[in-house]
Amino acid sequence: MVAVIGDASVDPAGAKAVAARQVGALIIDRRWRLVTGGMGGVMKEASAGARASAAWVDGDIIGVLPGSDPAAANPFIDVVIPTGMDHLRNSIVAHADAIIVIGGGAGTLSEIALGWIYRRLIVALPHEGWGARLAGMRIDQRVRYKDMPGDCIHAAASCDEAIELVARLLPQYQRRHSDIKTRIVS
């Protein structure tokens, strides 16, 4: 399952929308599933792209909604998961196997921060927003994976490269969050 995150509102004719649709389609072409926050902008465009893939099968596109009403989902979601959790549903999106970032504001930033904590593979496209600002960087100095000195928010110059990075790196990103920390370090 690959998450696509980014701006909750985009110009449907702009570069972010084009990239989101392309990434969505490529994810389905690979026979992965797509998960988003189920609403508009990058979430909607990625879902539309996924739906347009020749490889799409009903059930491939999951939307994890902030509200309680499944009717709020964009029309390209196959599996609607209403949560009633508001922005905390970002944490569920951030549990995806891999996360691809296209621009993004504060909500996207919260997903990146949580995805980093959850040791997820994160790939950022160069579109304006937190994707561009964090591409190639580390969120903090924690060692998420031993023997992986290059761990970072991986930068991808194109949608194809983003998908290639996910395909190549995902086998190395298999550790999961060890859940609740109960001891104080210092």
**Site residues for a second copy per CB under 8 A:** 1, 8-12, 33, 35, 39-41, 44, 57-60, 62, 64, 66-72, 74, 78-88, 91-92, 95, 97, 104-107, 109-110, 112-114, 116-118, 129, 139-142, 176-186
Report residue 109 as tokens: 């930033």
Adjacency order of strands within the sheet including 121-124: 79-82, 61-65, 34-36, 2-6, 98-102, 121-124, 154-155
CB of 100 to a second copy, least distance (A): 18
CB of 156 to a second copy, least distance (A): 21
Which CB sits closer to a second copy, 54 or 71?
A: 71
CB of 69 to a second copy, least distance (A): 4
User: What are the residue ranges of helices labelled H in 59-155?
Assistant: 90-93, 106-117, 130-134
Which CB sits closer to a second copy, 59 or 149?
A: 59
CB of 94 to a second copy, least distance (A): 9
CA 134 – CA 113 distance, rounded (Å) = 11
CA 147 – CA 157 distance, rounded (Å) = 25
CA 42 – CA 117 distance, rounded (Å) = 23
Which CB sits closer to a second copy, 33 or 155?
A: 33
Which CB sits closer to a second copy, 105 or 126?
A: 105
